[in-house]
Structure 1
Amino acid sequence: MIQNTLFSTQSVQPLKVLNSSQETATPSESLSKFGAYLEDAINQVSEQEKTSQVMNNQFMLGQVNVDQTMIASEKALLSIQLTTQVRNKVIEAYQEIMRTQV
């Protein structure tokens, strides 16, 4: 089974209920955390693509099997497709917000 590691559940922290005595994160802190999360996700996609290219080169030299090469290629393809779909949804949401009349 192929597992997409772009948005792995290991890095997701469970939501905590905040008490009134606890301080919430400022918008700037939340934005920087979200930015770091997106940067990490894009770096993972890039690493999968590089791994796929290395596996393709090794396959051409006869160093790895075709099934290993295909699995690496499919992982990279699925990650790129997921990233593209997330980007498209973000753009659609932004456009919808911009069309909203105040």
Structure 2
Amino acid sequence: MIQNTMFQASGVSPLQMREQAQAAEKTPAESIRSFGSYLSDALNSVSAQEQQAHVMSDKMMIGQVNVDQAMISAQQALLSIQLTTQVRNKVVEAYQEIMRTQI
């Protein structure tokens, strides 16, 4: 039988749950800072994938890796860049929509 243990709070006292809820509350400045670090990490990850694709391409040219490995790396980098572009487009659209709203 499969048991759902995701939502069970057995073994956790109410005091511990309250302490964790208070620790999770953040000020707006802290949440913006964490969002900024999340965004920075995501962009660094995309950049690392692109650099990895270039390295794999170079290794393919000298015969160290197969063509399929280089193509997989290139496609992963391409998908990451496309996703980043679409997220940027949605953020710009949301910003423009907010600027168009009348107060």
Shorter-normalised TM-score: what interval?
0.7 to 0.9
Q: Mark the CA change 1:81 to 1:18 in structure 2 (over 3 Å): closer, same or farther.
A: farther
The Cα of 1:77 is off from its aligned counterpart by: 0.1
Number of residue pairs aligned between Structure 1 and Structure 2: 87
Q: With structure 1 as the length reference, what TM-score do the two structures score? A: 0.78
Equivalent residue number for residue 33 of structure 1: 34
TM-score by length of 2: 0.77
**Structure 1's 101 and 18: CA in aligned 2 closer, same or farther, altered over 3 A?**
farther
CA shift for structure 1 position 23: 7.0
State the percentage of identical aligned residues: 60
Give 1 or 2: higher helix fraction: 2
Q: 1:19, CA displacement in angstroms? A: 8.9
If asked which structure has higher relative contact order (CA below 8 Å, sep 6+), I would say 1
The aligned residue for residue 43 of structure 1 is 44
5+ residue gaps, structure 2: 1-16
Unaligned stretches of 5+ residues in structure 1: 1-15
RMSD between superposed Cα atoms in Å: 2.3
Runs of 4 or more off by more than 3 Å in structure 1?
16-23
Which letter maps to 1:46?
A: S
